Amino acid sequence: MISRAVLVTGSSRGLGAAIAQRFAGSGDRVAVHHRDSQKEAESVLSDLPGDGHILIKGDLSDPHAVREMVDLAARQLNGLDVLVNNAGAYGGRDRPHPVFGLDYAGWRDAWRETFEVNLFGAANATWAAAQHMRERGGRIINVSSRGAFRGEPEQPAYGASKAAMNAMGQSLAIALAPYGITVAGVAPGFIETDMVREHLEGPAGDAIRAQSPFGRIARPEEVAAAVHWLASAEAEWASGAILDLNGASYLRT
């Protein structure tokens, strides 16, 4: 088994941590990335099976920090084979931003802050990673959202940023294919993580689970398995695809 060098952004908790665990469990060397969650990231790192894993820090809203972070990961892992653009912001500073819920300055801040991470951060990380993959190929997986397709009325910048991420990924799937680099995405619905626990345990919990005919939401490990497959050698022909992972809670045509 060949050990690959894998960078998972936003992997100090939740889905990112599950993705890091999945790659490490298959023998890969993983860079666990965080912005300001040192303690949580160290805990994820210590729980990864195997060895050769590293911890890196970087603010995805800072283009210079993004390139330094990707280059550092490549140096310490002796190359870069897989980039998972998982880190994301669910609205400006993770707060709702409905059109009638903010003043004009707050509205503009929400859009800027969301796109800086979800689109520009992912785009910059992709550019930096592609420089290391150009000679030997690689895999880039974008973590999008069903919100890119169904709309997010309370977090419109989030939905728009994920739709833009999808378009970016499909454009780059074409552009990078001649270099042996595939680009694909996953579009989950609700995932059972700490970020949504308060919603699941509150009065809206039953309604959230009822969105899927399975009567539940996704487990992080289920989404991580799909990401891992899209990064495999067998999934080259899935380049450009965006895999819906929402338990039939939203079906697009």
Query: Which structure tokens are listed for 41?
Result: 């990231």
The overall longest dimension of the chain from CA atoms, in Å, is: 55
Query: In this structure, are residues 236 and 201 in contact, taking their beta carbons and an 8 Å threshold?
Result: no
In the chain, the amino acid numbered 169 is G
Point out the catalytic residue in the list 90, 104, 158, 179: 158
Query: Which structure tokens are listed for 156?
Result: 């419109």
HSE of 227, CA atoms in CB hemisphere, 13 A: 31
Name, in order, each residue with C-beta under 8 angstroms of 28's C-beta and a sequence gap of 6 or more: 3, 4, 5, 6, 50, 81, 82
Query: Which structure tokens are listed for 190?
Result: 């609700």
How many Å is the Cα radius of gyration of the chain?
A: 17
Q: Would residue 90 show up in a list of annotated catalytic residues for this protein?
A: no
Positions marked catalytic: 158
